Structure 1
Amino acid sequence: MPILGKLLKEGIKLRKSIEQEKKTPFDLQKKQLLQLLSSAKQTAFGTHYNFKDIIHAIHNSKGDDLSFYEAYRESVPTFDYDTIYNEWWHRARKGEKDVCWKGPVKYFALSSGTSGSSSKHIPVTKAMVKAIHRTSIRQILSLSNFKDLPSKLYGKGMVMLGGSTHLNRKGAFFEGDLSGITASQIPFWFQHFYKPGKKIAKKTDWNSKLDEIAEKAPKWDVGFVVGVPAWIQIMMEKIIERHNLNHIHEIWPNLMVYTHGGVSFEPYKKGFQKLLGEPITYIETYLASEGFIAFQTHPNSNMRFVLNNGLFYEFVPFTEDNFNTNGELIRNPKTYMIHEIEENKDYALLLSSCAGAWRYLIGDTVRLTNREKSEMIITGRTKHFLSLCGEHLSVDNMNKAVELVANECNIDVKEFTVAGIPHENLFAHKWYIGTNDKVDLDVLKSKIDNKLKELNDDYAVERSAALKEVYVETLPTDVFLNWMKMKGKEGGQNKFPRVLKSNQYQEWENYLNQHYRTTV
Structure 2
Amino acid sequence: MGLKAALSKPFAAFAVRQINKWKNNAVEAQNKILQKLIHSAANTAFGKDHHFGEIKTYEDFKKKVPVRDYEGLKPYVDRVVAGEENVLWKGKPLYFAKTSGTTSGIKYIPLSKESMPEHIKAARNAILTYINETGKTDFVNGKMIFLQGSPILAKKHGIDVGRLSGIVAHHVPAYLQRNRLPSYQTNCIEDWEEKVDAIVDETMHENMTLISGIPPWVQMYFDKLSEKTGGKKIADIFKNFSLFIYGGVNFEPYRAKIEQCIGKKIDSIETYPASEGFIAYQDNQKDKGLLLLADAGIFYEFIPADEYHKENPVRLSLGEVELDKNYALIMNTNAGLWGYSIGDTIKFVSKNPYKIVVSGRIKHFISAFGEHVIGEEVEHALLSVANEENVEITEFTVAPQINPKEGALPYHEWFVEFSSMPKDLITFSKKVDEALQKKNIYYFDLIEGRILQPLIIRTLQKDAFVNYMRSEGKLGGQNKVPRLSNDRKLADALEKFII
TM bucket (normalised to shorter chain) is over 0.9
Aligned to 1:443: 427
* 1:276-326 CA-partner distances (Å, limit 9, x unpaired): 23210122111112111000101121111000011110000111x432xxx
Q: Is the 8 A contact 1:436 1:476 kept in 2?
A: no
Q: Is the 8 A contact 1:363 1:383 kept in 2?
A: yes
Matched residue SS, 2:261: coil
- Tell me: CA distance 1:507–1:451, structure 2 relative to 1, closer, same or farther (3 Å): closer
Structure 1 CA distance for aligned equivalents of residues 420 and 60 of structure 2:
57
TM-score by length of 1: 0.89
Structure 1 CA distance for aligned equivalents of residues 20 and 259 of structure 2:
35
Q: Is 1:322 aligned with 2:324?
A: no
Q: Is the 8 A contact 1:93 1:172 kept in 2?
A: no
Q: Is 1:77 aligned with 2:66?
A: yes
1:455 to 426, 430, 439: 439
Structure 2 CA distance for aligned equivalents of residues 3 and 88 of structure 1:
46
1:382 to 346, 350, 362: 362
Identity %: 32
Q: Is 1:236 aligned with 2:238?
A: no
Q: Is the 8 A contact 1:256 1:281 kept in 2?
A: yes
Q: Is 1:490 aligned with 2:475?
A: yes
Q: Is the 8 A contact 1:191 1:197 kept in 2?
A: no
Aligned to 1:90: 78
2:283 to 297, 302, 313: 297
Query: CA shift at 1:8, angstroms?
Result: 6.6
Query: CA shift at 1:376, angstroms?
Result: 0.9
Q: Is 1:119 aligned with 2:106?
A: yes
Structure 2 CA distance for aligned equivalents of residues 494 and 240 of structure 1:
23
Aligned to 2:396: 416
Query: CA shift at 1:436, angstroms?
Result: 4.2
Q: Which moved more, 1:379-388 or 1:37-46?
A: 37-46
RMSD: 2.3
Q: Is 1:506 aligned with 2:485?
A: no
Q: Is 1:140 aligned with 2:127?
A: yes
Q: Is the 8 A contact 1:316 1:349 kept in 2?
A: yes
The residue correspondences of 1:279-358 to structure 2 (distance < 5 A) are 279-301=265-287, 302-319=289-306, 321-323=307-309, 330-358=310-338
- Tell me: CA distance 1:119–1:512, structure 2 relative to 1, closer, same or farther (3 Å): farther
Query: CA shift at 1:13, angstroms?
Result: 5.7
The residue correspondences of 1:353-364 to structure 2 (distance < 5 A) are 353-364=333-344
Structure 2 CA distance for aligned equivalents of residues 338 and 485 of structure 1:
40
Query: CA shift at 1:12, angstroms?
Result: 7.9
Amino acid at match of 1:487: E
Structure 2 CA distance for aligned equivalents of residues 370 and 512 of structure 1:
42
Aligned to 2:193: 207
Aligned to 2:33: 32
Query: CA shift at 1:431, angstroms?
Result: 0.6
Structure 2 CA distance for aligned equivalents of residues 344 and 46 of structure 1:
34
Structure 2 CA distance for aligned equivalents of residues 172 and 11 of structure 1:
40
Q: Is the 8 A contact 1:109 1:122 kept in 2?
A: yes
Q: Is the 8 A contact 1:77 1:359 kept in 2?
A: yes
Structure 2 CA distance for aligned equivalents of residues 246 and 441 of structure 1:
30
1:427 to 399, 410, 434: 410
Q: Which moved more, 1:460-469 or 1:289-298?
A: 460-469
Aligned to 1:18: 20
Aligned residues: 491
Amino acid at match of 1:71: D
Q: Which moved more, 1:460-469 or 1:358-367?
A: 460-469
Aligned to 1:403: 383
Matched residue SS, 2:175: helix
Q: Which moved more, 1:348-357 or 1:167-176?
A: 167-176
* 1:235-285 CA-partner distances (Å, limit 9, x unpaired): 011112112242111221111111111111111111111112321012211
Amino acid at match of 1:19: K
Q: Is the 8 A contact 1:262 1:493 kept in 2?
A: yes
1:107 to 92, 95, 98: 95
Amino acid at match of 1:268: Y
Aligned to 1:216: 202
Structure 1 CA distance for aligned equivalents of residues 355 and 76 of structure 2:
33
- Tell me: CA distance 1:402–1:11, structure 2 relative to 1, closer, same or farther (3 Å): closer
The residue correspondences of 1:113-192 to structure 2 (distance < 5 A) are 113-114=101-102, 116-147=103-134, 150-192=136-178
Q: Is the 8 A contact 1:26 1:338 kept in 2?
A: yes
- Tell me: CA distance 1:480–1:489, structure 2 relative to 1, closer, same or farther (3 Å): same
- Tell me: CA distance 1:103–1:138, structure 2 relative to 1, closer, same or farther (3 Å): same
Matched residue SS, 1:462: helix
1:274 to 243, 260, 263: 260
Q: Is the 8 A contact 1:388 1:427 kept in 2?
A: no
Query: CA shift at 1:10, angstroms?
Result: 12
Query: CA shift at 1:161, angstroms?
Result: 0.6
Q: Is the 8 A contact 1:77 1:332 kept in 2?
A: no
Q: Is the 8 A contact 2:69 2:340 kept in 1?
A: yes
- Tell me: CA distance 1:332–1:254, structure 2 relative to 1, closer, same or farther (3 Å): same
- In structure 2, runs of 5+ residues without a counterpart are none
Query: CA shift at 1:418, angstroms?
Result: 0.5
- Tell me: CA distance 1:109–1:508, structure 2 relative to 1, closer, same or farther (3 Å): farther
Q: Is 1:260 aligned with 2:240?
A: no
Q: Is the 8 A contact 2:12 2:131 kept in 1?
A: no
* 1:190-227 CA-partner distances (Å, limit 9, x unpaired): 21232213222222111121111111213432221111
Q: Is the 8 A contact 2:142 2:179 kept in 1?
A: yes
Q: Is the 8 A contact 2:385 2:431 kept in 1?
A: yes
Structure 2 CA distance for aligned equivalents of residues 499 and 20 of structure 1:
36
Query: CA shift at 1:333, angstroms?
Result: 1.8
2:372 to 369, 373, 392: 392
Structure 2 CA distance for aligned equivalents of residues 407 and 340 of structure 1:
36
Matched residue SS, 1:112: strand
Amino acid at match of 2:352: E
